[in-house]
A and B are shown apart, each in its own frame.
Chain A
Amino acid sequence: MLGLASIMLVLVSSVVIGVWGVRAARSTPDFLVASRSIVPGWNALAIAGEYVSAASVLGLAGLLVKNGVGAMWYAVGFTAGYVLVAALVAGPMRRSGAYTVPDFAEYRLGSPRIRRMCGLVVLVIMLLYLLPQFKAAGVVLELVSGIPYWIGVIGAGLVVSSTIAVGGMRSATYVQAFHYLVKLAFIAGPAIVLIVLAGSERREAALATTGPDPDWARPLLDLDGSGHSVLATVSVLTATTLGAMGLPHVVMRFHTVAGARAARRVAVSVIVLLSLFYLFPVVYGLLGRIAVPDPEETDVVPVLVPQAIAPGTVGAVLTALVAAGAFAAFLSTSSGLLLALAGGLSHDLFGGSLSKLRMGVLAGTALAVVLSLPAADVDINVLVGWAFAVAASTFCPLLTLGIWWRGLTATGATAGLLVGAASSTGAALASVILDLPPGTWSILLAQPALWTVPLAFAVMAAASRPSAVPDWAGEAVLRLHVPGRNQVSGESAVIYGGDESGRLPARGPASAGLRQAGR
């Protein structure tokens, strides 16, 4: 009951902060990107808050217990992605003035068709990412309160969609910043207390690197004992590092900062915040191995550990805190994802208005809830890993080549997106359906990024014929890299209420429609 109460407390405070943040969410730019008036510090907190999902709060420790300490390579990849975000994407994307990845694709390639394709890819990535979040909400609620899984999932869907539909991203920013702090406090605090309460004997046991299973203790990732742990680790690192670059909801966040410089700096701050957080899942994983060595559901290990280490009131209080932290992870990530999904559904696919965007949030939630009901048995990190692999095989090459190489054409991008999306989702599906014996092939299907990313890059480059490069492509690329402090055109300054940031706005048909809809 304590667990449920603490979850309710997180929920109520989120709604209060959300409502407080609603004040100005009246137009679509407001709703989607808070009219770019969000302070960098809040933004870094919000990005980290949105990014530290159930995969990090619950999945990492569970995977560590199940597969070995190498599970922490996921955390390394999740963080390393932001080095590339800072170096390759943040600044130029911000200068493009596009709201979403599809917006950017249209700005850079001048083709409305590619915008719709990108909208579809956004849907796939966001859904793959949303499912495990709802699963997490369901299993945690079930564990702390006994509510059946499906009721928990539906309830979580109602809560999230209603907070977003009312507030949009402005409210999401403050809520997500708050959630980062909740997650850090409610995961780090109990972790430190648990280290103390565990006592020296259990601490020693948790840190024992020798044991019956030497593979478990080896700091490399292996999939079901395939014997190719270096290959598996490299493939997971590829997916997570490059995938972070192409996650639509992360990219979208950078439009809420003041300018290109601020966008880069925000990416660096995010690395600091992530590094701080990722020190703690290890504690739950290592203590979990000795305290709950054989859990029925590995994804709830962090919630089980407190009671196993400190039975009684202290354990109950710590459990409640961790459960609340896990629920905060669900709330913040799923609201960020839903916003991007709704953007994909309405804005990119149907050129929508604010009311369509709100409908998009509801439709996206319904879809995610329905799909996550049968996903109860899939590991959180497996699904999240696939979302990253798809992002790495589609938007990572699109953004990298689009920003840095003027030779990319709409045809090349389309071909690359198709091949990347088909190969990465196809491999993931095949790994489920074929159920190959552990070995090289099973890794290359279950963690396909290692070959699908180079393939997508190669197809994009090869299918971009030099003769098909339009004469404006050079300028479109150059504008992404010109500091251009003095180059805000008068019109955009008026439209956006005097943004002085040096943004070079893109004006796709949908964003033109958006501005009208916003009035």
Chain B
Amino acid sequence: MGRLSHLSGRPPMPLTAIDLEAAERALRRQRRLAVRTALSLLIALAALLTAAAVIPGRLGWAVLFFAPYPVLLALAALHVRRAEQVEDDHDRDGP
């Protein structure tokens, strides 16, 4: 399976050029956002775990059975909205 791009060790990429500076800005913003979402998830899970461990009786069960899902959904939905905003900004300002 000899292919030219592999002779230079470069993986295949499309020939179209991209604006590297604008892309760099988009990457940085997306990365900040991703880190923020991952940390929020960590904090949310830690809080849920603490609540389940501390709250006695049926309320503690309810925390485990029901509470996590709306929290997870909100985190994901919020992330997606912000990520799309970053993309819209990119499309508007450059490439």
A234 in contact (CB, < 8 A): yes
Give the residues from 11 to 66 in chain A that come closer than 8 angstroms, CB to CB, to chain B. Answer: none
A84 in contact (CB, < 8 A): yes
Assembly CA distance A263 to B83 (angstroms): 12
Instruction: List residues of chain A with CB within 8 A of the CB of B41.
Output: 80, 83-84, 87, 241
Q: Which of B14, B48, B77, B83 contacts A489 (CB under 8 A)? A: B14
A451 in contact (CB, < 8 A): no
Give the residues from 1 to 39 in chain B that come closer than 8 angstroms, CB to CB, to chain A. Answer: 1, 3, 5-6, 9-16, 18, 20, 22-24, 26-27, 30-31, 33-34, 37-38
The interface centre, meaning the residue of B15, B24, B33, B80 with most chain A CB atoms within 10 A of its CB, is: B80
- Residue on A nearest B69 in the bound complex, by CB: A275
Assembly CA distance A144 to B81 (angstroms): 47
Instruction: List residues of chain B with CB within 8 A of the CB of A88.
Output: 34, 38
Known: A82-B72, A484-B18, A504-B14. A233 touches B80 (CB 8 A): no
Give the residues from 489 to 511 in chain A that come closer than 8 angstroms, CB to CB, to chain B. Answer: 489, 492, 504-510
Asked whether, in the complex, the Cβ of A83 is within 8 Å of the Cβ of B76, the reply is yes
Give the residues from 31 to 68 in chain B that come closer than 8 angstroms, CB to CB, to chain A. Answer: 31, 33-34, 37-38, 41, 45, 48-49, 52-53, 56-58, 60-61, 63-66, 68
A237 in contact (CB, < 8 A): yes
Assembly CA distance A70 to B48 (angstroms): 12
Segment touching B, from A172-180, A413-421, A474-482: A474-482
Known: A73-B64, A79-B69, A484-B18. A84 touches B13 (CB 8 A): no
Asked whether, in the complex, the Cβ of A106 is within 8 Å of the Cβ of B11, the reply is yes
Asked whether, in the complex, the Cβ of A404 is within 8 Å of the Cβ of B31, the reply is yes
Whole-angstrom distance from the CB of A488 to the nearest CB of chain B?
8
Asked whether, in the complex, the Cβ of A219 is within 8 Å of the Cβ of B63, the reply is yes
Assembly CA distance A218 to B79 (angstroms): 32
Instruction: List residues of chain B with CB within 8 A of the CB of A268.
Output: 73, 76-77, 80
Asked whether, in the complex, the Cβ of B12 is within 8 Å of the Cβ of A230, the reply is no
Whole-angstrom distance from the CB of A326 to the nearest CB of chain B?
21
Assembly CA distance A88 to B45 (angstroms): 18
Chain A, interface size category, equals 35 or more
Instruction: List residues of chain B with CB within 8 A of the CB of A261.
Output: 84, 87
A440 in contact (CB, < 8 A): no
Assembly CA distance A478 to B20 (angstroms): 7
Q: Which of B1, B9, B69 contacts A512 (CB under 8 A)? A: B1
Asked whether, in the complex, the Cβ of B26 is within 8 Å of the Cβ of A483, the reply is yes
Known: A79-B69, A237-B45. A482 touches B61 (CB 8 A): no
Assembly CA distance A510 to B15 (angstroms): 19
Asked whether, in the complex, the Cβ of A476 is within 8 Å of the Cβ of B83, the reply is no
Chain B binding surface SS class: helix
Asked whether, in the complex, the Cβ of A477 is within 8 Å of the Cβ of B10, the reply is no
Asked whether, in the complex, the Cβ of A506 is within 8 Å of the Cβ of B12, the reply is yes
Whole-angstrom distance from the CB of B32 to the nearest CB of chain A?
11
- Flag A225-253 by CB within 8 Å of B: 1 or 0 each: 00000100110010001000000000000
Assembly CA distance A219 to B13 (angstroms): 50
A303 in contact (CB, < 8 A): no
Asked whether, in the complex, the Cβ of A87 is within 8 Å of the Cβ of B76, the reply is yes
Assembly CA distance A476 to B40 (angstroms): 28
Asked whether, in the complex, the Cβ of B34 is within 8 Å of the Cβ of A209, the reply is no
Assembly CA distance A108 to B41 (angstroms): 27
Asked whether, in the complex, the Cβ of B52 is within 8 Å of the Cβ of A107, the reply is no
Assembly CA distance A55 to B10 (angstroms): 42
Give the residues from 177 to 229 in chain A that come closer than 8 angstroms, CB to CB, to chain B. Answer: 207, 209, 217-220
Asked whether, in the complex, the Cβ of B76 is within 8 Å of the Cβ of A82, the reply is yes
The interface centre, meaning the residue of A91, A278, A477, A483 with most chain B CB atoms within 10 A of its CB, is: A483
List 8 other contacts, CB 8 Å, given A83-B72, A279-B65: A70-B64, A76-B48, A84-B38, A86-B76, A87-B83, A272-B73, A275-B70, A275-B72
Give the top 6 A-B pairs by smallest Cβ distance, nearest first. Answer: A275-B69, A507-B12, A110-B11, A478-B23, A483-B87, A509-B1
25 of the cross-chain contacts (CB-CB < 8 Å) are: A76-B64, A76-B72, A79-B69, A80-B41, A80-B72, A83-B37, A87-B41, A88-B38, A91-B83, A107-B11, A207-B58, A219-B52, A219-B60, A219-B63, A264-B83, A271-B73, A271-B76, A472-B13, A476-B11, A476-B13, A478-B27, A481-B30, A483-B91, A492-B14, A506-B12
